[in-house]
Amino acid sequence: MKVHDAWVEVNVKALRYNLLQVKTLLGPNVKVMAVVKGNGFGHGYAVPARAFVGAGAEYLGVTRLEEAAHIRSADIQVRTLLFAPIQPESADEALAMNLDLTVDSIRLAEVISNVASRRGLQARVHIKIDTGMSRLGMPPEEFEAAFAAMSRMPSITVAGVYTHFAEAGGADPAITRKQNERFHTVVQKLRLHEQYPPIMHAANSAAYLRFPETRYNMVRIGTLLYGQYPGGEVPRKLTLEDTWRLKARICTVKKLPAGSRVGYGGEFVTKRPTRMAIVPIGYADGFTMAAEGPIYRQSPLKFLAKRQKRQLTVDLHGRPVPVIGRVSMQMTALDVTDCLEVSVGDVVTLPAMRLATNPDLPRVYIDNE
């Protein structure tokens, strides 16, 4: 059995459980897109994706082709939407992977249709509407003509229409409601013309919980699946399980006399005879980056200001242990003087931002079922 010096422990059972929790608030005709972009929010791609599909997710969502490649190379063939509009030169690759593609212009749809026609394929696209996020998408007033034009393209199937909310977890609900009104107008136009794409989606994790009217017939869920709530204004309607832990093993334990300078710059000086432990993990691995949950609940600047006043600690044998000295690239020193038993190989659990955690760290998947 391989012993890791530092790793991320992922609870696969908790991933499945959280998706099932999400489904408890949905009607039978509302699909779930499990978002696995950004290395599965730090959990990896293939195993979480397979867990979500096994628990009932009908779609997966990623941003870039490289992310989709991880899904397809694991032989996961469920519908997968690419959020970023592709470069025209990448249309062949995207179609070869049988991806649903985001389009925000007639020009891109034409490129995709031409490539699909040449390959003898039917491309599936989702039209993105900009209702106020101001990143991707066409204005709502341009949608009707664009939809009609794309519907006439011989190798295009308009599989979905969607938008994205900018402040669904923020203090002012009126912003999201206004965005949804704009999107609902688009949906109503489709209904009047009997042009009705099978999938309409708007709700992210925050909107899914806070604005039930935005669920339409599919929701895009990311952070909730990984055991975290987005935003302080979001109601806690689900019982979520923790899915992720950053861990490392102590590699050295040594005694230091009082007055010893610890780490780069000698910023920490021991005030007493100290027993110090070292774990081979540091800022290159994401340690010292804040966990996402606390940031969601307040502004990053306020969070960091409070954090600077607190002693940074890790968990050892179920108790907090202070970090001493400057955290370096891949080494961190701990004061274990007050711990009764500490040995090389003991496991430490560290707080960190999941998305910033080194993707090269092994992901160890724990599944009790």
**120 and 59 co-located in one domain:** yes
pLDDT of residue 288: 83
Domain range for 62 is: 12-225
Does residue 195 or residue 77 have the better pLDDT? 77
**183 and 75 co-located in one domain:** yes
Check which CATH number belongs to the domain holding 86 and give it. Answer: 3.20.20.10
**305 and 361 co-located in one domain:** yes
Check which CATH number belongs to the domain holding 251 and give it. Answer: 2.40.37.10
**40 and 134 co-located in one domain:** yes
**175 and 300 co-located in one domain:** no
SS3 268: strand
Mean pLDDT of the chain: 92
Tell me what percent of the residues of the chain surpass a pLDDT of 90.
86
Catalytic residue among 37, 128, 229, 247: 37
Examine the pLDDT at 280 and tell me if it is beyond 70: yes
The string of DSSP letters for 210-249 reads: H-GGG-TTEEEE-GGGGT---STTS---S-----EEEEEE
Report phi then psi at 144, rounded to 5.
-60, -45
Q: Is residue 2 part of a domain?
A: no
Q: Is residue 362 part of a domain?
A: yes
What pLDDT, in 10s, does the model give residues 176-222?
A: 999 999 999 999 888 877 777 789 999 999 999 999 999 999 999 99
178 among known catalytic residues: no
- How much is the pTM? 0.91
Catalytic residue among 196, 264, 302, 306: 264
What pLDDT, in 10s, does the model give residues 15-56?
A: 999 999 999 999 999 999 999 999 999 999 999 999 999 999
13 among known catalytic residues: no
Which is it for strands 332-335 and 274-279: parallel, antiparallel or unpaired? antiparallel
